[in-house]
């Protein structure tokens, strides 16, 4: 661990004030906090001393979301495979079918593995796009404001991906998370100053334009 810290200190000089990559310091600082325990610890009164900092709190929330993610993958795959069985299709169309075929994964709704993999083929691309697009805005605003990157985005990215329809267009994913992060959080000043949940703001932004489709529609 000491060797890792020494290596981090050497790299830090490149990103510190006066270094060639000074403007990218928040990116370095975010990676350092994720991999290493912070070196600055409050030691005196009147502050409460606790091992639970923001990073650990957010990682705890991420772990708490794992059962939800597993259920989301299984249920998405199950519903898709049941629909394929209903129309008597034996394979998945498009790149998802090509990829699952490479590993010998079928579309049997009675198979837990088939359901999990099929669900993952919908969820993972959405999540990775959310990380890339939302992470871009997080890094940009952190760099402009000379602040650290918040670990809270790990939670926001998971929540946003979980509340989206599995067959959503990828450009909508990018647009939605961008709106959620920028309008739902950054315009208020960033982490701790926003009054809205960024994931829900992004989801609402994508939902309201579709209301026109359902005007006059009756249910029941």
Residues 86, 113 within the same domain: yes
Residue 126, classified by CB atoms within 10 Å of its CB into exposed (0-12), middle (13-18) or buried (19+), is buried
pLDDT tens track for 186-201: 888 877 778 889 999 9
Residue 94 shares a structural domain with residue 33 = no
- Determine if the pTM surpasses 0.75: no
In a domain, 7, yes or no: yes
101 and 8, same domain (yes or no): no
Confidence of residue 212 (pLDDT cuts 50, 70, 90): low
Output the six-digit token pair for 211.
Answer: 């209301």
User: What mean pLDDT is reported for the chain?
Assistant: 82
Q: Do both 149 and 187 map to the same domain?
A: yes
The pLDDT of residue 195 is 84
Position 3 scores a pLDDT of 60
Under the banding of pLDDT at 50, 70 and 90, the label for residue 218 is: very low
Does residue 138 lie in a domain region? yes
Q: What angle do CA 40, 149, 44 make, to 5 degrees?
A: 20
Residue recorded with tokens 């950054």 = 186
CA separation for the pair 134, 149 (Å, rounded): 12
Peptide bond into 46 cis (omega under 30): yes
**Could you tell me which of 96, 164, 197, 179 has the C-alpha nearest to residue 133?**
179
48 occurs within a structural domain: no
* Residue 43 falls inside a structural domain: no
Look at residue 36 and tell me whether its pLDDT is greater than 70.
no
Number of folded domains in the chain? 2
- Tell me: do 23 and 109 sit in the same domain: no
Least confident interval from 12-16, 41-45, 150-154, 211-215: 211-215
33 and 98 in a single domain? The answer is no
Does a structural domain hold residue 49? no
DSSP 122: H
Query: Do 24 and 62 lie in a common domain?
Result: no
Both 199 and 111 in one domain: the answer is: yes
Please provide residue 107's backbone torsions phi and psi, each rounded to the nearest 5 degrees: -125, 35
How far is 51 from 73, CA to CA, in rounded Å? 33
Instruction: Clarify whether residues 14 and 98 are in a common domain.
Output: no
The pLDDT of 38-64, averaged and rounded, is: 68
Looking at the structure, tell me whether residues 26 and 64 fall in a common domain. no
Helices and strands in the chain, H and E counts: 8, 0
Of 21, 39, 59, give the one whose Cα is nearest residue 139: 21
112 and 195 share a domain? yes
Look at residue 2 and tell me whether its pLDDT is greater than 60: no
- 206 assigned to some structural domain: yes
Residue 125's pLDDT band, with cuts at 50, 70 and 90, is very high
Q: Say yes or no to pLDDT of 128 above 90.
A: yes
**Does 155 share its domain with 196?**
yes
Q: Which domain, by its residues, includes 142?
A: 54-211
Look at 45 and 149; give whichever has higher pLDDT.
149
Residue 219 lies inside a defined structural domain of this protein:
no
- Say whether pLDDT at 121 is over 90: yes
């Amino acid at each position: 661990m000491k060797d890792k810290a020494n290596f981090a200190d050497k790299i830090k000089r490149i990103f510190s004030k006066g270094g060639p990559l000074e403007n990218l310091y928040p990116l370095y600082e975010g990676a350092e906090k994720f991999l290493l325990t912070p070196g600055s610890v409050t030691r005196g009164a009147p502050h409460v001393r606790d091992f639970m900092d923001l990073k650990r709190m957010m990682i705890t929330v991420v772990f708490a979301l794992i059962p939800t993610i597993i259920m989301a993958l299984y249920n998405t795959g199950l519903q898709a495979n049941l629909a394929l069985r209903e129309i008597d299709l034996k394979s998945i169309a498009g790149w998802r079918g090509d990829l699952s075929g490479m590993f010998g994964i079928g579309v049997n709704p009675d198979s837990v593995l088939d359901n999990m993999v099929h669900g993952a083929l919908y969820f993972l691309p959405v999540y990775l796009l959310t990380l890339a697009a939302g992470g871009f805005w997080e890094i940009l605003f952190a760099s402009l404001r000379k602040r650290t990157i918040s670990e809270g985005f790990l939670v926001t990215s998971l929540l946003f991906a979980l509340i989206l329809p599995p067959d959503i267009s990828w450009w909508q994913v990018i647009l939605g998370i961008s709106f959620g992060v920028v309008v739902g959080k950054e315009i208020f000043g960033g982490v701790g100053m926003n009054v809205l949940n960024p994931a829900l703001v992004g989801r609402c932004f994508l939902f309201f334009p579709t209301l026109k489709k359902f005007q006059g529609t009756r249910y029941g």
